[in-house]
Structure 1
Amino acid sequence: MNRPAVAVTGLGMITPVGNDTDTTWDGVCAGVSPARTVPELEGCAIDFACTVSGFDLDDAVGGRAAFRMGRYVKFAVLAAREAVADAGLDPADWDGSRVAVVVGTSSGGSAGLTEQAVALDRRGPGATSPAGILLTIPNMPAAEIAIRMGATGPSLAPCTACSSGVTALSVARDLLVTGQCDLAIAGATESIVFPVAMTGFARSGAAATRDGDPGRLSRPFAADRAGLVMGEGAAVMVLERADDARARAAVPRALLAGTGATTDAHHPTSPHPSGAVARAAVEAALRDADWAAADVEHVNAHGTSTPLGDAIEAALISRAYPHRPPVTAPKGVLGHCMGAAGAIEAGLTILTLQRGVVPPIANLDAPAPEFDMDCVTQQPRHRPVRRAVSHSFGFGGHNAVVALQRP
């Protein structure tokens, strides 16, 4: 397919191990999970998670508008600010009509909605916030970024559960190659560490229950994996046509070479047991990138630490990439950041391409014996990587894969 190449020229992250891209990278490479008891979850069946901490979100966002932003929106605004600065851009200098914003989320402001419902029930309408609606609707990350950046081009908020971040990157790429924008601010955000959501995951059976140190519970691809640990955060990227980046002397972090998406159409929460439809998303991304499977030198796996999900993905990896490229799974460190996970993991894949380092899977000494895959364990693996893929699979059967390469 003859289309303009798309470059990633800016990257911003906020995660449980770092409030920016570099500290996030260092934390993921250290391979230690920050999962801890969360006071607000006292009395819940699951009272621990990987959370963003160590600074005041309102101060970091700045201005009076912070009162109208949910936690998930603040994450996105901060990540976007870092990404735009990293790209060497200043919103004061661009034509906002040519700037798109595509920022996904899975649950959006469900925490804010719950807080407002509790306030209404306990204390009446006067106790609710005038910004109550703004604290809940899932388009607000994209909207607030657009407001702050003066971006008046297309503004979209994809929701494909845990693959929302990769979906956002794919949509943004399409806007660029079809000429609907010249710059795209794209990524995803999530924050659902609150009692209703945590109780729901406990009741679903998808989450790990307390068994010793919470930091040891997320162990993707381990024989004794026992469920996911919740995380939160955001990642945002600046995308532009590679020729445009070159014209302004920007140095791309990576090229977005291809994307693929399919839907299992099988079950609301369980992936299709054959893995065939998810594998079709991998194959679609490779076709889009014009790669053979053997071209893939690294796989950033979805790897949720759930018994069924990891088994299906492990089988997919061994079939789709028989040459056994090194595999990592950041959820061992970060927990499952839900709607933000795909964007965060795509960002980490970009850093692997740039730095020639594959981070280890936390809490894993070796994959389960039945998994024929080369998992990076215990220590980061230093090796040049030119082409890599990142998998994202979400509730509802949403499968999304992004192929990334060095410029």
Structure 2
Amino acid sequence: MSTLPQERRVVTAIPGPKSQELQSRRTASVAAGVGSVMPVFAARADGGIVEDVDGNRFIDFGSGIAVTTVGASAEAVVRRASAQLADFTHTCFMVTPYEGYVEVAEQLAELTPGDHAKKSALFNSGAEAVENAVKIARAYTKRTAVVVFDHGYHGRTNLTMALTSKNMPYKQGFGPFAPEVYRVPVAYGYRWPTGAENAGAEASAQAIDQINKQIGAENVAAIIIEPVLGEGGFIEPAKGFLPAIRQFASDNGIVFVADEIQSGFCRTGQWFACEDEGIVPDLITTAKGIAGGLPLSAVTGRAEIMDAAHSGGLGGTYGGNPVACAGALGAIETMRELDLNAKAKRIEEVMKPRLTAMQEKFDIIGDVRGRGAMIAIELVKSGTKEPNPEATAQIAKACHAEGVLVLTTGTYGNVVRFLPPLVIGEELLTDGLDVLEAAFAAL
């Protein structure tokens, strides 16, 4: 049970005096390139609430960008990580291995789609996982080209910036980027020229045609896609798109990589979002929700592909840190015990009808989409599909001022995304949606 009262409370201006004082210290010592959504400093977080240093309590519709799926101080995560901290903080798995790493790999083999033999390698961040998936695919196929999709996001390292679609703020001024990366269309139903019902078939045909013409399927090592595109605006590729791309990969000896960093671990109401259309990826990358807030990521996949890299070719000093592994085992325990897939589906049942009703009332809401507790609304200018990033920023700011932490996203900066912890109480969900609706009414 949560020790933090699960209720929204605004007792100062946002930001309050203590947050303002910390902000001035931050400005003096933290690089300007590191941004923050909220101007407040966290003191405690648990369940569906984040409390700041001034005592304001915010309804958490962000989960630290889909990380604190089990809550920000889940009992099993704290218990297991604390016990590991007391035993040892680090030995480096590449020097003296430990059971926690092996146990996480075993859990990943069990939970990820497909009943083939699987192995995993553990790292620290999502970008590291994606980068290593590319290394593994290249080692296995002896090919170099990597195919990614419009609106995709895969990280901030040099290679993953090349894989990422959106220039600002991720790529601007940071090039040159890694070569042999090719981008093809994705089935973005809401914005597909001939309508959402045609997007799956048409976009997959276009993507495959471009790969064949511009690269040659025989040169492609990996195709990497988020089963629900996160930074692109919580885009669910139109039905039929993912199966067609998956089939094309299989037919041409291409490693199909599902980037489940934001969509994995019960977030969409299934362990992994790719399960929705029965996709079994060759490799799957995970991070964010995996360890209850501790830095951990993984590449999991077919044993023969995972074993393609030579001994010593994969690793990193902190990869699969023992405390983070303990946190992951606690997070997975929590997901199983509380059936967080069912909780995610329930969150969708509460949120989607409310958001759809708002869409009928406010014509700047162009689209309501997503699955489970990965839901979004796309804002447009009245009577058009022209993106409306200004209104999106205003809505987010209005919610923040009233004690609801929401995040924006999307290639055009016009999407409000909802990623509540799966342990959030329904009364908080309802209260947060009331605040959102009032923000639209005021706008």
TM-score by length of structure 1 reads: 0.28
TM-score by length of structure 2 reads: 0.27
- Indicate the structure (1 or 2) with the bigger Cα radius of gyration: 2
